[in-house]
Structure 1
Amino acid sequence: MDACTDVRRHDVAEEQAAEQGTEPGAVAEQGDADGTGEAGQRPAKPRKNGVAPQVSDELAENMKQGWADTERHDLKPVPQAEHTARRRAALSARFPGERLVVPAGRLKTRSNDTEYPFRAAVEYAYLTGDQTENGVLVLEPSGEGHDATLYLLPRSDRENGEFWLSGQGELWVGRRNSLTEAARLYGLPVEDIRTVPDLLRGASGPVRVVRGHDTVVEEALRDKVTAERDEEFREFLSEMRLVKDDFEIAELTRACDSTARGFEDVVRALDRAQATSERYIEGTFFLRARVEGNDVGYGTIAAAGPHATTLHWVRNDGPVRPGDLLLLDAGVETTELYTADVTRTLPVSGRFTELQRRIYDAVYEAQEAGIAAVRPGAKYRDFHTAAQRVLTEKLVEWGLIDGPVERVLELGLQRRWTLHGTGHMLGMDVHDCAAARRETYVDGTLEPGMCLTVEPGLYFQADDLTVPEEYRGIGVRIEDDILVTEDGNVNLSAALPRRADDVERWMAELRG
């Protein structure tokens, strides 16, 4: 990365600092009218070891001039605009007469002056379609409903030098939408984010805010909100996403299709992975995610050999050996932030051993039972119960645990090897709708439009002395993304084979 240009000649910097309340050498950024970092971007800070010449008055004046008007007048609303409007209407109906505040979040520091790639808060993106850092959606009570306004950072101002002197200026990180452009894209009135702190501090009447994304917004509302009321707000926003609309289902389908292609990429690269490590597998899948989507939806689990018994193995630094199994749990996140979540357990050599196949077939049978239990009107817990029963029957049949099966299930003894629940809701978060109330989620009833994973597994730890030695270090999970329909379900990730014979045949075809 390039080092930022040193800002202004010293005497000019001192004059500017006196006017704007910044330290000499710093430029007040476009996102902050007074240089304090209160809204919009963080304030610029001088580079201690910058090597570029200081900026002369002549250069500063030159940089203000000769720029073309790049305003875009042919923009059309984003595809989800009609859906976001309907979602905001539902939110308005639930909280009449209350001011509702939903922040996008802020850049998070990775190290020193570098940041993690920004991903907008799910609630904000769900209600606006926007993915811009520092944005804030405010629903103001008005008559029978609310007036929604989106607050964003305007284009960089050529007059104050922020666009080229600040590390977050447009010549450094890219052009921003103008407020007029953003209004066209998102179908909302758009105002300057720099007005938000004063607006919120002056708010009267009941207010709710989505917490955990923007400390500046929360500080401005500190004396106006309560944790209990904000938790109710968060719960409702989670429960709104339990049933997906047509746009969301299309995005989840797209995510699963891209994910299937990513798994195919990995199989083709297995020989090279054996020469390197699990990271080659992680990197191979990541390429597909970035080419066809926004990113991976979560940290890829590329767990070979005994690492497959660690549920969230994301270090991915181990060897990939012939004869071992590779448990690959990965998902592409689309550009609209919907993610797949798929797992396949693959024989690195292309063929299962007899014991690997026995364990794999048991997990497959459990998944089949779980998927069959996914239908409208069924209890959410039914698919978990069905899968756990099959796995428990197998463990008793193999002599790994004493029956009867009902006793084992009652005491939960099978969980030594099954470890986790059999699935979760899926959407813009890989573990979607996590703030929903239990009675609407795990203790609730399945409805058409819900999308969830079914992912049973068996995990025999390498140091588990309660099982025969040949079982130790084997982990198997099979996971698919299941959409509840009016008359049953659809497997959105069915493009990837699941039966052991089909997996072996598929791998052989891909590897030539």
Structure 2
Amino acid sequence: MNDNAAQHDETADDVNADLQDRVNNRSHRPSSENFKEFMTSNWEPRKDLGIVAGDFASFTVARREALSAHFPGERLVVPAGGLKVRSNDTDYRFRPHTAFAHLTGFGTDQEPDAVLVLDPQFDESGAPTGHESILFVRPLADRKSEEFYADSRYGEFWVGARPTLEDVTRLTGIHAAHIDSLSDLLAKDLGPGHVQVRVVPQADEQVEALIETLRLEAGLDTSSAEVRNELAEIDAKLAEVLSEIRLVKDEWEIEQMREAVNQSLAGFAEVVKNLPRAVAHRRGERVIETVFDAHARLEGNTVGYETIAAAGDHATTLHWIINNGQVREGELVLVDAGVEVESLYTADVTRTLPISGTFNDVQRRVYQAVLDAADAAFLAAVPGNKFSDVHEAAMKVIAARLEEWGLLPVSAEESLAPEGQQHRRWMVHGTSHHLGLDVHDCAQARREMYVDKVIEPGMVFTIEPGLYFKSDDLAVPAEYRGIGVRIEDDVLVTVDGNENLSAALPRRPEDVESWMADLLNN
């Protein structure tokens, strides 16, 4: 580091320290030695919390082994990430990085700043023999420490007790070590001609900075653009593989998905029950949002993504999450929502509901076209077909209906050709995406492992065609304008076909009407 850089860092540190001092200016906490002594004494011994191995632990072993097989002899670093500031000195609720959660089994609020390391092992000849997993965590602080009562971000007095190292090992089946020893392991045998380190990019800036420092100390010149690009590609490959090993869900993950979907369906029922309240409120969309979100928080962890409660023309905005509009009789409301359970697996379900309880003729026509497209997509979502076949099946139906209604400027066949695609004006999104720990799961996977991948049993993805006619769209007759319809279900691919995990939520227009009537009248 040159002198100017060192001076810059010192200045930045001084500024940060000054800012922290200003935050502390409002503190009324005593600082006397008498207070400290009294505060850290006369506490009962901590009770054994009875932590046992998580039901996920036997499954995460195979996931780590799958990752290990891709990178023999290399050190793999998967951080949970740190707490993120919401405002000033308050943090968002913590959610660990998806890859960390997948490999460790940690779910909601567990464990900020933790780092999973897969440390390479070698036989006597130097040949790689797999990896040892080590979980570096910030363990429960001793009650004699100031952290216990004075640290508002990590202290037990402020945020509750963290698990001990023994607790973490017992829960996850992974050897746990103090986070303070992370640097020593990462530095071991590091450098040109020795062990290569890969770290999940953008998961934890501090861990990435530590690894860059250790690389420099080991003699690796990271100042050149060529080396930096090479290292970025090395880390990106790790992110890619971490996505791809999630494409097929194991038995435990599938059960988590079932629970997420089932809780989401219960949330939709609560939404329908509250539609009269939504109609009566000046921001009825927000009534729908908060009803579903409250259910998600009560019965799961939270929502898997911001709830879309889009009434009337708002339904033609694909990711409408402002949710400040009115909910009016005679219009449709598109509700796209999913519960994230404690393990962080999420559902992703959409239903388009007639606010008055019944569809009018044009609404029903559009809805039925979308449903037919979804049914065609389900028929294509089977082992042996490509993932892209699901989208193509839906698009054939969409294009055919648009041609039938006289809305396409060309034939359906011409529109479906790569040089056409005019039908996509009214459905610009894809029909499916993988689903799991992330609502758009496995997003770093290569195209050949995602869009062009052959469908396999154990895959879970959405089927969600739609049609969206904006209120100012002069390419369609006035009767269609302001109508947006999407129907989205979560599908599990099985050995002999697929299972609609969200099938219990009515899909056919007449079934939707009957279901809504039952809920509103009881």
TM-score by length of 1: 0.90
Structure 2 partner of 1:161: 146
**CA distance in 2 between partners of 1:87 and 1:220 (Å):** 26
3-state SS of paired residue (1:265): helix
1:244 aligns with 2:229: no
Matched to 1:138, the amino acid is V
Kindly provide the CA deviation profile for residues 448-471 of structure 1, in whole angstroms up to 9, marking residues without a partner as x. 000110000000011111111121
**CA distance in 2 between partners of 1:380 and 1:415 (Å):** 19
Mapping 1:460-499, distance limit 5 Å: 460-499=469-508
Matched to 2:266, the amino acid is R
Kindly provide the CA deviation profile for residues 175-228 of structure 1, in whole angstroms up to 9, marking residues without a partner as x. 100111111111111111122234324551111111111111101112368111
1:133 aligns with 2:140: no
Kindly provide the CA deviation profile for residues 104-160 of structure 1, in whole angstroms up to 9, marking residues without a partner as x. 001111111111111100100111112311100011111311111100001123223
Matched to 1:190, the amino acid is A
Kindly provide the CA deviation profile for residues 466-506 of structure 1, in whole angstroms up to 9, marking residues without a partner as x. 11112111100000000100000000001100000000000
1:388 aligns with 2:395: yes
Conservation of the 8 A alpha-carbon contact between 1:450 and 1:483 = yes
Matched to 1:500, the amino acid is P
Structure 2 partner of 1:180: 166
2:338 to 331, 337, 340: 331
Structure 2 partner of 1:509: 518
Conservation of the 8 A alpha-carbon contact between 1:44 and 1:167 = no
2:77 to 101, 113, 126: 101
1:402 aligns with 2:409: yes
Matched to 2:30, the amino acid is Q
- Residue 261 of structure 1 and its aligned partner are, at CA, apart by 0.1
Matched to 2:336, the amino acid is D
**CA distance in 1 between partners of 2:500 and 2:426 (Å):** 26
CA shift in 2, pair 1:161/1:51, >3 Å: closer
Matched to 2:211, the amino acid is L
Structure 2 partner of 1:12: none
3-state SS of paired residue (1:381): helix
For structure 1, the residue ranges without an aligned partner over 5 or more in a row are 1-20, 22-35, 38-42
3-state SS of paired residue (1:226): helix
For structure 2, the residue ranges without an aligned partner over 5 or more in a row are 1-9, 11-15, 123-128, 221-229
1:151 aligns with 2:129: no
**CA distance in 2 between partners of 1:148 and 1:348 (Å):** 53
TM-score by length of 2: 0.88
1:77 aligns with 2:53: yes
**CA distance in 2 between partners of 1:56 and 1:207 (Å):** 46
3-state SS of paired residue (1:101): strand
**CA distance in 1 between partners of 2:27 and 2:84 (Å):** 26
Mapping 1:17-416, distance limit 5 Å: 45=21, 47-50=23-26, 52=28, 54-72=30-48, 74-130=50-106, 131-143=110-122, 144-168=129-153, 169-204=155-190, 205-222=195-212, 223=215, 226-276=231-281, 277-410=284-417, 411-416=420-425
CA shift in 2, pair 1:362/1:175, >3 Å: same
CA shift in 2, pair 1:269/1:247, >3 Å: same
Conservation of the 8 A alpha-carbon contact between 1:480 and 1:494 = yes
**CA distance in 1 between partners of 2:21 and 2:383 (Å):** 56
CA shift in 2, pair 1:45/1:497, >3 Å: farther
- Residue 402 of structure 1 and its aligned partner are, at CA, apart by 3.0
| Structure 1 vs Structure 2 CA RMSD | 1.7
**CA distance in 1 between partners of 2:426 and 2:507 (Å):** 21
Matched to 2:172, the amino acid is Y
Matched to 1:116, the amino acid is Y
Percent of aligned positions that are identical:
52
Matched to 1:64, the amino acid is T
3-state SS of paired residue (2:77): strand
- Residue 54 of structure 1 and its aligned partner are, at CA, apart by 2.9
Q: Point out the structure with the larger helix share.
A: 2
**CA distance in 2 between partners of 1:45 and 1:105 (Å):** 25
- Residue 372 of structure 1 and its aligned partner are, at CA, apart by 1.0
CA shift in 2, pair 1:207/1:325, >3 Å: same
Structure 2 partner of 1:15: none
Which has the larger displacement, 200-209 or 322-331? 200-209
Conservation of the 8 A alpha-carbon contact between 1:129 and 1:186 = yes
Which has the larger displacement, 308-317 or 62-71? 62-71
- Residue 52 of structure 1 and its aligned partner are, at CA, apart by 2.5
Q: How many residues align?
A: 473
